Each structure stands twice: as C-alpha cells, then as structure tokens.
Chains A and B, each alone.
Chain A
Amino acid sequence: MAGTALLRRLNWLTGSVVKLVRENAQTRTIGLQVPGWPGHRAGQHVDIRLTAEDGYQAERSYSIASAPGSVYLELTVERISDGEVSPYLVEDLREGDQLELRGPVGGDFVWEESLGGPLLLIAGGSGIVPLGSMLRHHRAMHSRVPVRLLYSMRSPDSFIYGDEIMRFATSDEIDVSLTYTRSAPAGWNGYHRRLDDMMLADVSWAPADKPLTFICGPTVFVETAASLLVTAGHAPERIHTERFGGTGGAR
C-alpha cells in the first residue's frame, strides 16, 4: 500500500475480455486486460456494471481470483439462476467484449505475505475465489507461511480450480482438505458431510498456533465456521469473514 493515495475515487474502468475459462457448469473465470488498473491485494473484490440498451444498469461485486501483479485481472463468477448479471457473465460474454468495472475494494478480508500466518483458509462453494487469490499470491511470493485449506462443496461437479488446488496440495507448505456435502466421487474416503466441530478440529491449527483465518462462502456456512472456531478457543479478531448471503451467493 505504500505510495497509494489515501483518497481515491473509484472511477469506472473499461476492461477487455482476453481469456475465458470454464471452471464447471455454473462457473467461469474471466480474464481482463484493464488499462489504468491500480493493482489489488489478495482477497479484494471489484464491482461490475452492465448497461442494457434502454439504459438500465445493474452493478454487482465479484471477488478477484488472480494474484496481485498477475498479467490479467481474473474474476471467477458463479451463475445465480435468477441473477441479473451473473448469467450474462457466465454464458454470454465473449473474448474481445468490454466490461465496465471499478475497484479494487476491501481492506479487512485481505492477506499479503507480510501478514504471516499460519494461515487457515475455509471456503464454502464459490467462496474459494478470494482464497484462490491468496493461494496464488502465496505461490507467487514463494512464501514459507504454512497454509491449511478446507474447501467444502456440494459435489465434484461444483469443484472450482480443481487441478490447481490439487497441485497446491503437493507443496510442503499447503495442506488441502476437501469435504463434499452431497455427492462424493466414487471411492472417496475423505469428508462427506457438512462442516462440523470434529472436522475443524482435524484440519485447523490449534488455537495456541494463533492462525490467521479467512472464511468465505454463504452466510450460514461462514457463521457456522466462525462460531465453531471461536468456541474452540480461537481469537475472534484473527478470524476474517466474507459472506455471500443466501445459500448460493450474490457473488
């Protein structure tokens, strides 16, 4: 943040879509080239604005997926079936299209290498997106901060960044635990249930390790995870949370 002006208007910028990656049936990653982009920190988000031909505008927030300093700004968007913005971004947007965005915003749900750890990252569904940016930042910095990731998803077909997360799991610093809340892959012998106190006790750091924790997902998921950690003796001020609302998410 050094050198960043304290007061800065969030002006609208225009990004060009340079890359589109299908993550799963509901989710797509959008790579953007954004002239004038001021840079971001892992965990922040942007607002996207769509304008209809009649002038009607809709604005929504999306978490940034890419690491700070990466070539393109990447957003991963999950389609909300009755959404005004996400169906367009996930189904209709094409390479070469322009998108209006502004940001980045967010100052609390942010991790950078200098904040240290150990890190505990807990994702529910598409809550993996800002945590993905943190993991990519961790890799880009060759960080030695130990990380434990717990990623809860409905089923294998809702996995986001599957291959990349399994590659992260091969590093010495990053432990990955998955839980499937509905259907698990054939032969799966890992967690196959909703997050609970036993699971958290297995995968999280001991309170004495004073982990820095980031939890992102649907509101109920986030509040369950945070209150279980506090009950287990973790310091509330070390737990950072970001809620999507609902059960699927506005983001």
Chain B
Amino acid sequence: MNALDGNAVATLLHDLFGQEMTGVAATCAHCAKKSVLARVKVFRGAGTVLLCSGCDGRLMVIVDREGVACVDAEGFSALAVRVPQPMLVADLNHAGVTAPGSAGASPAS
C-alpha cells in the first residue's frame, strides 16, 4: 500500500481541529523529528493512521465510529496548534494569523 501524506487528510484534520492543520509544526515522540503535518505519512483504510516520516512511528490514529471521531494522538511530543489570541491584545493586522508553515505563533506583546 502506498503512503499518502498529510495533505490528503487536510479536510479531516480541519474538521477535528477547526483550522488549517497541514502547516502545523509537530514533533515525533518516538524519534524527536520535527516536521509539519503535511509531511507525515498517511495510510487510509477503515481508519486513518499518521506515521512519522523519519522513523515510521505511529503519531495519530483517527477512527470514525458512527459519526464520532475517535482520535488517539499518542505519538506527538509536541503539536503546535494555534489558538486565537484574546481580543484584548489582538492587533487587527495580526489577529491570530501567522503565515502557515512559519514556526510557532507570533509573540504575544
């Protein structure tokens, strides 16, 4: 079976996390490789499995059980999901938006 990559589950991850996820930085708990989710290996069958592209360690398993997504994210030591900045400190030009693929969120000031 041929591996896909994280781009193939962009919609699924968007459904789970409510935002674009393929540019999100992730660190493998098995081998400590840092990458972005677009670059992980993806296999789809009855469920969806994300594997580290460095060590093939299992990062995440997603299974749909009658419309409920069961997510087991056992293999990440870090997953840098951005959250909207509080409106009080939001600069309208930077309101929670960082360029996808850039490392980390903009510093809160």
Q: Could you list which residues of chain A lie within 8 angstroms of chain B, going by C-beta atoms?
A: 1-4, 6-10, 45, 47, 59, 61, 102-103, 105-110, 218-220, 240-246, 250
Q: Which residues of B contact A9 (CB under 8 A)?
A: 18
Specify which of B15, B19, B24, B38 is in contact with A109 (CB 8 Å cutoff): B38
Assess the B39–A108 pair: CB atoms within 8 A: yes
Selected from A106, A219, A246, the residue in CB contact (under 8 A) with B10 is A106
In the complex, whether B32 has a CB less than 8 A from a CB of chain A is: no
Determine the distance from Cα of A47 to Cα of B14 in the docked complex, in whole angstroms. 12
A217: shortest Cβ distance to chain B, in Å?
A: 12
- Rounded to whole angstroms, the CA-CA distance of A244 and B5 in the bound complex is 8
Give the Cβ gap from A212 to chain B, nearest Cβ, in Å: 11
What's the minimum C-beta distance from B59 to chain A, rounded to whole angstroms?
Answer: 16
Residues in A whose Cβ lies below 8 Å from that of B23: 107-108
B7, B39, B84: the one within 8 Å of A6 (CB): B84
Taking a contact as CB atoms under 8 Å apart, the answer to whether A242 and B7 are in contact is yes
Interface of B is mostly: loop
With both chains docked as a complex, state the minimum distance between the C-beta of B66 and any C-beta of chain A, in angstroms: 15
B8 at interface (Cβ–Cβ under 8 A)? yes
Chain B residue with Cβ nearest A103: B11
Question: A220's contact among B2, B21, B38, B99, by CB below 8 Å, is which?
Answer: B2
Ranked 5 nearest A-B pairs via Cβ: A108-B38, A107-B100, A107-B23, A105-B10, A219-B2
7 contacts between A and B (CB under 8 A): A3-B97, A7-B18, A8-B18, A47-B11, A107-B24, A107-B100, A108-B36
> A237 to chain B: closest CB distance in Å?
9
> Does any Cβ of A come within 8 Å of B93's Cβ?
yes
Q: How far is the CA of A234 from the CA of B75 in the complex (A)?
A: 28
| Nearest CB in chain B: distance from A139 CB, A | 23
**Cα distance A11–B85 in the bound complex, in angstroms:** 23
List residues of chain B with CB within 8 A of the CB of A103.
11
Residues of B within 8 A of A242 (CB): 5, 7, 38
Out of B8, B11, B22, B96, which one reaches A107, CB within 8 Å? B22
Closest Cβ neighbor of B84 among chain A residues? A6
Distance of A194 from chain B, by nearest CB (Å)? 17
Residues of A within 8 Å of B3, CB to CB, are 219, 243, 245
B7 to chain A, nearest CB (A): 5
- Contact call A7/B84, Cβ cutoff below 8 A: yes
Are A219 and B4 neighbours in the complex by a CB distance under 8 Å? yes
List, in ascending order, chain A residues with CB within 8 A of B8's CB: 61, 243, 245, 250
Q: A61-B8, A107-B38 are in contact. Are A6 and B100 (CB under 8 A)?
A: no
How far, in Å, is B93 (CB) from chain A's closest CB?
7
With A243-B5, A245-B8 as given contacts, are A107 and B21 in contact (CB-CB < 8 Å)?
Answer: yes
Which residues of B, 1-56, contact A by the 8 Å Cβ criterion? Answer: 2-8, 10-11, 14-15, 18-24, 36-39
* Chain A residue contacts of B93, Cβ below 8 A: 2
Chain B's nearest CB lies how many Å from the CB of A176?
24
